Structure 1
C-alpha cells in the first residue's frame, strides 16, 4: 500500500532529474506530507516532458459526483477491474516522490510510521495510472498508485509496497503496452531503498514541514532490526 507521499526536492533538481518542466497551474511547492485527496506531481504518457499535478484518488468514471477516489491499485489485478480498465490499457504515468510513508502494526499497539526512500538520487518514480473524471460542472484529472508484493525491506513493515520503477525503465513504463508494463510491476530491489522510524507527527496531514522526516533517536531506529 502507499497512503502518504512526499516530494521536496528543489524545482530545478526535479526538472533536471526527469528531463521535464513543471506546468501545473499552481506551480511547484515542496511538500513533506502529501495525503490522499491532495495533488500529486505526475508525468503522463501523453506529455512525457511535463510535470503536472493530478488529484490523488482515481475517481470511477461512472460516479455522479466527484469523490476522494481510489488511491492504490493492485498491479496484479488492475487490468481485470472495471474501474481501472481504461487507465490500465492506455494511461500509465509516473508519480514522483522523495519518499513514501508506511505504518507498522506492533503487537496490537499503536502503529509506528516509517519513511521509505532512496538514499541516492534527488527523487524517484512510482508507477501510476491516470484518468479524467468528467462531471456536469467539473473535470478532474486523477491518479492512483500501483502496488505489488513487498521486498525484503518492506515485508516486516507492511504486506504491500508501491511499484517503484528503476530509473532505466521509467520511459518504457510510459511507452510500453499493457502486457509489457505488467512485467515491470515488480518489487523494487531492497538494497536501493532505506527505511527508518519517524514520529507520529506524519499522522496529521497538516504537519507538512521538514520535521516530519526526522528519524526517531533510539536504538532501533532505522533498519538495523531488518538487516540480519
Structure 2
C-alpha cells in the first residue's frame, strides 16, 4: 500500500520531467499524509497540467480512500469511472512503508529510486466538494502486489509508472492495464528511518535521516 510519501524535487525538475507549464508555489514535502494537498499531473485536450489535489477519495463512511487495488479498480463503484476517464500521475521522490517486526513494533523504511531520482505513482482523480460546499479535487494511488525487493516489508506497493509510459497512462480512452504491475527491483533503493515519520506533525528533512548507519540495500 502507500500511506505516506515525499516530494522534494524542484519545480524545474518536475516541469521537465512531466512536460507541464504550470509553476505553482510548491514547497518541499518530506511526509505527505492522507487528506493533505499535493501536486498531481493530469491531461486534457490542451495538454498536461500540474494541479493541487487532496489525497483520498471520499469513502462510503467518510473515511478517505487513499489507495485503490489495481486488480479490482475497474469494477469497484468508488474507482471504476475514474479509472476509465480520470487517470493521473502523482509525483514523488520516495515513499514510506512499515515493516512488522512483531505484534507491537513496526519499522519504517524510506523507499525510492537509486540516486534519488523522482518518479510517479499511477493515480486516479475526481471532482468533489468540501464540507463547506466548495469545489475541490481528490486523488487516490493505485497499488499492486509488491516486487521481490519490497515483499519483506509489505505484500503491497504503489504502482509506479516508468517515464516512457506516462503518455500511455494519461491518454484518453481505456486504461493501459499492462501498466498496473509491480515496478522492477533493480532501480529501487530503501533504508530504515526513525519513527519520527509516524507523526504527521513532522514534515521536515529529519524524516529522511537514516536510522543508525544502515546503508542502502
Per the TM superposition, whether the score is higher than 0.5 is yes
- Residue 26 of structure 2 is aligned to residue 16 of structure 1: no
- By percentage of residues, which structure has more helix? 1
The equivalent of 2:50 in structure 1 is 51
Matched residue pairs, number? 215
Measured after TM superposition, the shift of residue 50 of structure 1 is 1.8
When the two chains are superposed, the root-mean-square deviation of aligned CA atoms in Å is: 2.0
- TM score, norm. by length of structure 2: 0.92
Change in Cα spacing, 1:104 to 1:146, as seen in structure 2 (3 Å) is same
Distance in 2 between the 1:196 and 1:141 partners?
33
Cα deviation digits, residues 155-197 of structure 1 (max 9, x gap): 000010000011110111000533x522110100010111110
Distance in 1 between the 2:95 and 2:79 partners?
23
Residue 114 of structure 2: SS of its match in structure 1? coil
Measured after TM superposition, the shift of residue 79 of structure 1 is 0.6
Structure 2: stretches of 5+ with no match in the other structure:
none
Residue 39 of structure 2: SS of its match in structure 1? strand
Residue 13 of structure 1: SS of its match in structure 2? helix
Measured after TM superposition, the shift of residue 122 of structure 1 is 3.5
Counterpart selection for 2:73 from 68, 74, 78? 78
Counterpart selection for 1:164 from 156, 160, 165? 160
Distance in 2 between the 1:204 and 1:21 partners?
34
Change in Cα spacing, 1:78 to 1:87, as seen in structure 2 (3 Å) is same
- By percentage of residues, which structure has more strand? 2
The equivalent of 1:29 in structure 2 is 27
Change in Cα spacing, 1:142 to 1:194, as seen in structure 2 (3 Å) is same
Measured after TM superposition, the shift of residue 108 of structure 1 is 2.1
Provide runs of 4+ in structure 1 moved above 4 Å.
none
The equivalent of 1:152 in structure 2 is 148
Distance in 1 between the 2:148 and 2:105 partners?
23
Distance in 2 between the 1:94 and 1:81 partners?
20
Residue 183 of structure 1: SS of its match in structure 2? helix
Structure 1: stretches of 5+ with no match in the other structure:
224-228
